[in-house]
Amino acid sequence: MNTLMLNNLNNQTQFSSLYETVLFAANTALAVSLVCITASILISYPFAEYFSMAVQVSAHIGTIVIAAILKVSYVLRCVAQHGLGQEVR
């Protein structure tokens, strides 16, 4: 094997490891953001009477911010799956 092939193989291994790390981080962020958005929606609407106005406003704002984090996490997950050669769903 020549040096160019070995360097290319080493780069592919590094990218694979990077994609696996990104996939794990994206899956974790998806799970956390799903729990957080569920909590913020519950605080905002069905259980609003049990929370102060400041908490309700924070929950409404949090719903928007957490939804954006959820979407970015999903896109990162798709990129990592594509990079690893997995089926993107």
pLDDT tens-digit series, residues 15-58 = 789 999 999 999 999 999 999 999 999 999 999 999 999 999 99
Band of the pLDDT at 8, cuts 50, 70, 90? low
Question: What domain count does the chain have?
Answer: 1
Burial 64-83 (b: 16+ CB within 10 A, else e): eebeeebeebeebbeebbee
pTM: 0.81
CA dihedral 75, 80, 82, 85 (to 10 degrees): -160
Does 89 fall in a domain? no
The structure tokens listed for 89 are: 């769903």
Does 34 fall in a domain? yes
Its domain, for residue 15, covers: 3-83
Contacts of residue 70, Cβ cutoff 8 Å, sequence gap at least 6: 30, 33, 34, 37
